Amino acid sequence: MHTFIRGVILGTFVLMLATAAFSWDDTGHKTTAYIAWQQMTPATRDAVIKILRSAPEDSDLSAYYMQSAEGEEIRKLEYFMLAATWADIVRDRTLENRYKKYHKSNWHYDDTFWKQVGGAAEVLPKVDEGGLAVTKLADFDKAARSSASDKDKAIAIAWIEHLTGDIHQPLHTSARVTDREPKGDQGGNLFLLTPEGTPREKQQNLHWFWDSIIGRNTPLKGDTCERDYIASVARRIMKKYPASSLSSAIKLGAYEEWRKESFALNATDVFSPDLVRFQMPSEKYKRNAFRVAERQLALAGYRLGGTLNQIFGATPAVTPGS
């Protein structure tokens, strides 16, 4: 009963976080997880859920596995989707011990410092470490395949879920250098879209624009539950970008290649010629950005599902007649 009550409290807290903007927001990360789940074999799903439920108690990760009146498979899916957001949940400073132990701000991005020259990216020396997302992905991949304890593997899986999503958000790979931002623009956080002089609490920046792009274009409406909403978003993306159409791009384990592909989008699609500082993007920009974001989420989902299948020694089931 204690565990159940704790789970309900934590679940309520998670819902309160739903509007917060961290990397891809909750919608983005859960969409990636939903797509990955569709690629995962039953054996992989069972192994991942079993390990996640073995997470250290002080991480609170295992407590999110809550009762569902709709059956065990729905509960597993919802838990897997929520685990993809755990690395953002632990940003909460009110739970000080959990924050100090598990929050790692520089793991969420892996920046290339660059300047824009004639519509192309000229790579510059790093001003600082630029983030550790790729390094940590490789570390957690290795940990998940090792003889480490299930407690350690649970944390690794949660980070793999999250970081796979993070590095597919182009601005999590970018530190654009300008005269205004000689040390980089912090992934577009310093590139404001609201008029100069707008009060800080009302400012909107380019990083926020990309983080929240799915939810803003296809918002949750009416009485639709979050799971059904995420499912509808993910299924539309999978229909638009089926796994078969991206099979040659999956490149399991090539984390640095994934990052470079994401970074390449900055010079062409993120900082496109029609983007103007202190102005909201044009409708043309918004349409293209949404297209890019959907494809990136599809890639992230297929890659995440394939990675977990590979880690746990499974191969996708063959549909009869296929």
Domain ranges of the chain: 2-311
Q: How far is it, in rounded angstroms, from Cα 276 to Cα 253?
A: 36
Structure tokens at 240: 């638009």
Q: What is the mean pLDDT of the chain?
A: 91
Burial 288-306 (b: 16+ CB within 10 A, else e): bbeebbbbbbbbbbbbbbb
| Whole-prediction pTM | 0.90
Residues composing the chain: 322
The one-letter amino acid code at 41 reads T
Strand partners, 117: 120
Dihedral sign for Cα atoms in the order 17, 22, 27, 31: negative
Does the structure show a pLDDT above 90 at 7? Answer: no
pLDDT of amino acid 69: 58
Does the structure show a pLDDT above 90 at 322? Answer: no
Closest to 170 measured CA to CA, from 252, 280, 302, 269:
269
pLDDT of amino acid 5: 38
Q: How far is it, in rounded angstroms, from Cα 230 to Cα 214?
A: 10
Does the structure show a pLDDT above 50 at 17? Answer: no
pLDDT of amino acid 10: 42
Q: Give percent of the chain with pLDDT exceeding 70.
A: 89
For the chain, the first-to-last Cα distance in angstroms comes to: 46
What average pLDDT does range 225-233 have in this prediction?
95
For residue range 134-192, what is the model confidence (pLDDT) as tens digits?
999 999 999 999 999 999 999 999 999 999 999 999 999 999 999 999 999 999 999 99
Dihedral sign for Cα atoms in the order 36, 107, 19, 14: positive
DSSP characters over 29-92: HHHHHHHHHHHS-HHHHHHHHHHHTTS-GGG--GGG----TT-HHHHHHHHHHHHTTHHHHTT-
173 to each of 137, 207, 213, how far by Cα in Å? 14, 11, 17
Domain boundaries 2-311, corresponding CATH code: 1.10.575.10
Instruction: With H, G, I as helix, E, B as strand and everything else as coil, classify residue 21.
Output: coil
Strand partners, 109: none
Q: How far is it, in rounded angstroms, from Cα 171 to Cα 168?
A: 9
Structure tokens at 305: 């599902």
The two counts, helices (H) then strands (E), for the chain are 14, 3
For residue range 256-312, what is the model confidence (pLDDT) as tens digits?
999 999 999 999 999 999 999 999 999 999 999 999 999 999 999 999 999 999 999
